Amino acid sequence: MFDDLFKSLPAGDQQVLLSVSMCARLSGGLVEALSGLTGGRAFLERMEHDQLFCTCIDESSAWFVIHPVFREFLERQVKEGGDVDAIAQHRRAATWFAGQSLWSEAIHHVLAAGDEQRALQWIAEHAMAVVGEGDFLALLAWERQLRERLLDSPVRLRLAFAWALGLTMMTGRAFKILEGIEASLVAPPRDARLRAECGALRAVLHGQRGDYDRALALAGAYEPSADDPPWVRKAILKSASYRIAARLAAWRGHGARARSLLDEGERIAAARDWNRVVASLGLEQARLSLLDGRVDRASLDVRRIEALIGRAALGSREYAFLQRTAAQGRTWLFLAGRDFAEALRAAEPLALRARESGRLLDEFAFETLVAVSDFEARDTAKATARFGEVCRRAAKVGAFRSIADQPVELSGLIHASLAAANAKGGGKALAISRGCARRWRPKPGDRRSLPWRLH
């Protein structure tokens, strides 16, 4: 498909595309650093104008992406021969991203270049900031690559990995790292704040295991400090403990217990003006309401989230979070009301902004909502292509939870996507099948027809 197109391009354009093919997103400056070309942004704009599988992904036209399938073709060309040194290009990309303080991408490329020592240095310096930005998948990828060298890593680095594992539900591995950290903390009061943060993480992990009383006791004992990372102090502990405990209670059929936990979490968060936590728990209330078929209750939950927006400073990160959370809830309501045009109008900007800011889990969730909207509006080809690509990418990082957690009907889209992927062959069918096997299997004794499972 791409071979003839690629050969028809001028030799200079071919060389530039090969030299940047290892990067998931591109800016004019990055193109210039990797290719030596003058006018990198003009090159990207021309590629987009000529419809050469290059798309701008932000309003300021600063970032572009090459279509993933075309980029895979370019990477194969680099591997099969030519004068592009992939290792050297990864080093150049790492240096450029580090210069922009874009550490997730910098560390990705330095690891791809095989420079584990520099990767460990950068991770140690910036891992907690990456956790704070919510890029858990990047940390998990690093943890898989560097697992044997983590035992000798600084405590802060190991704690960042433990948070990333815990917040992506890899509870057993998180506990193992946490226990090693706690055993090494022997010098109070110097280690007092680290112990407190370990207690916060332990509360989250017990909540994931269904030990609600222990989780909430630890959460209640946690005293915030100005020295703590703000995402621990304000959001993660209360949100994760109550929301995860409530989700597990609902999963086990204890609906009243789930509601009680969420109400209690909201009460504590509201008393401390933690509006983001209130919104997160409110969204979980809406999700449970929709799973129970109570659209009226879900609508009230979303309205409560919308009311919080006026309390945040215009343009602040809290304001953006509250708007995004409310928009996700509204999208669910549009789908529940079968207003697919409005659902699409709400979901597409959410997916775009998640992609621009690198929030991969959000991107998978919102892209799924766009695919469902297209599918229900009878644009089957577009829907199955989008959903297949989401599943393929989610399979690489084991992130099917973001897809499965949406309180919408997915079974028809899954079956259609499997049929389309099987007809074409390749990895998408396998990714969808694995996703179904991991996340859409019925629970023992569950008689409800839950909408996100295969029927």
> Which DSSP string do the residues of 83-148 spell out, in sequence order?
S--HHHHHHHHHHHHHHTT-HHHHHHHHHHTT-HHHHHHHHHHHHHHHHHTT-HHHHHHHHHHHGG
Q: Alpha carbon 286 to chain centroid distance?
A: 20
> What percent of the chain stands above pLDDT 90?
25
* 322 Cα distance to chain centroid: 17
Contact 250, 292 (CB under 8 A): no
What's the CA gap between 78 and 307, in Å, rounded? 52
pLDDT at 88: 94
Structure tokens at 102: 């874009």
Question: Across-strand partners of 56?
Answer: 64
Looking at residue 17, its pLDDT comes to 92
Q: Where are the domains of the chain?
A: 2-84, 89-181, 338-455
pLDDT for res 436: 52
Q: How far apart are CA 159 and CA 272, in angstroms?
A: 26
Fold exhibited by the domain 2-84:
Arc Repressor Mutant, subunit A (1.10.10)
Q: How much is the pLDDT for 347?
A: 92
pLDDT of residue 444: 36
Q: What is the predicted pLDDT for the residue at 155?
A: 81
**pLDDT of 242:** 63
Amino acid type, 104: S
CA dihedral 383, 386, 387, 391 (to 10 degrees): 170
| pLDDT tens series, the chain, 455 aa | 677 888 888 889 999 999 999 998 999 999 999 999 888 999 999 988 888 888 888 767 789 988 888 888 898 888 887 788 999 999 999 999 999 988 888 988 998 898 888 888 888 777 766 766 666 677 777 777 776 666 567 787 788 778 877 766 678 888 988 988 888 886 555 677 788 888 888 877 876 676 766 776 676 666 656 565 655 554 344 445 566 666 656 666 667 777 887 887 788 778 878 788 889 889 989 998 998 899 999 999 999 999 999 988 888 878 988 999 999 999 999 999 999 999 999 999 999 888 877 777 788 889 999 999 999 999 999 999 899 888 888 777 666 777 878 888 888 888 888 888 777 765 555 555 555 544 444 443 333 333 333 33
Distance between CA atoms of 340 and 378, rounded to whole angstroms? Answer: 10
Alpha carbons 405 and 286: distance in angstroms, whole number? 12
pLDDT of residue 7: 83
